């Protein structure tokens, strides 16, 4: 009887091990990134009567980002590109610094392309704000505020893509950072490896038969 009890305990432990949740991981790869600035950005041919804000957006040094998010709440941060605020105080009187006509059409779009399984093209929107006045004063001159984007990757999986806000007081270049956060895993990524009932029955019967045979052999 001790042998039978031992084999039953062994079968229970084996069943629990088989039914344990499988390790989950969501591999991701972002292969390219692009800025798409609004029509209010550019370089005016002359400063008097200027209508364009001199801000340069670049992803020339973007590198492919390969990473894996394993659990809900995991995140990955990387450099998407750069934003270079180049407006100056060139001009006289009301033409110096940022003019009222340089404060419109300053929305920006950033596009990320994911490769592999998800096959996602994600467009993140930002509102750009230029404050009229001189560039040389200590007040803020240009702000870029991004709206977080929730991306559906199928089978219940969701990501959040968020860009860091930027603020310029005076001209200069800043890195634009991006963060991808796992909100939920696709069902196929976090399902449990549960064997079929018939498989479990055969396993239990086999172990029980082996135990009985072994018990009879011991008595003999």
- Give pLDDT tens digits for 164-219: 999 999 999 999 999 999 999 998 654 444 444 444 444 444 444 444 445 545 55
pLDDT of residue 63 exceeding 50, the answer is: yes
Mapping DSSP onto H, E and C, the string for the chain reads CHHHHHHHHHHHHHHHHHCCECCCCEEEEEEEEEEEECCCECCCCCCCCCCCECEEEECCCCCCEEEEECCCCCEEEEEEEEEEECCCCCCCHHHCCECHHHCCCCCEEEEEEECCCCCCEEEEEEEEEECCECCCCCCCCEEEEECCEEEEEECCEEEEEEECCEEECCCEEEEEEEEEEEEECCHHHHCECCCCHHHHHHHHHHHHHHHHHHHHHHHC
- Domain positions in the chain are 2-20+195-219, 26-190
Q: How confident is residue 162, by pLDDT bands cut at 50, 70 and 90?
A: very high
Quick check: 124 pLDDT over 70? yes
């Amino acid at each position: 009887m001790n042998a039978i009890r031992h084999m039953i305990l062994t079968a229970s432990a084996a069943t629990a091990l088989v039914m344990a949740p499988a390790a989950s991981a969501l591999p991701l790869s972002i292969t390219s990134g692009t800025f798409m600035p609004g029509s209010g950005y550019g370089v005016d041919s002359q400063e008097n009567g200027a209508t364009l804000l001199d801000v340069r957006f670049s992803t020339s040094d973007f590198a492919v980002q390969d990473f894996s998010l394993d659990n809900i709440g995991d995140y990955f941060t990387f450099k998407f590109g750069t934003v270079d605020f180049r407006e100056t105080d060139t001009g006289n009187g009301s033409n110096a610094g940022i003019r009222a006509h340089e404060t419109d059409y300053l929305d920006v779009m950033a596009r990320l392309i994911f490769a592999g399984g998800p096959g996602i093209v994600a467009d993140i929107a930002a509102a750009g704000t230029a404050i009229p006045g001189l560039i040389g004063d200590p007040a803020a001159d240009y702000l870029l505020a991004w709206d977080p984007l929730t991306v559906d990757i199928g089978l219940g999986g969701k990501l959040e893509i968020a860009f860091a806000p930027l603020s310029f007081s005076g001209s200069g270049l800043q890195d634009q950072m991006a963060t991808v956060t796992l909100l939920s895993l696709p069902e196929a990524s976090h399902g449990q490896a549960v064997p079929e009932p018939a498989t479990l029955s055969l396993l239990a019967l086999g172990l029980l038969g082996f135990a009985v045979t072994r018990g009879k052999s011991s008595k003999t």
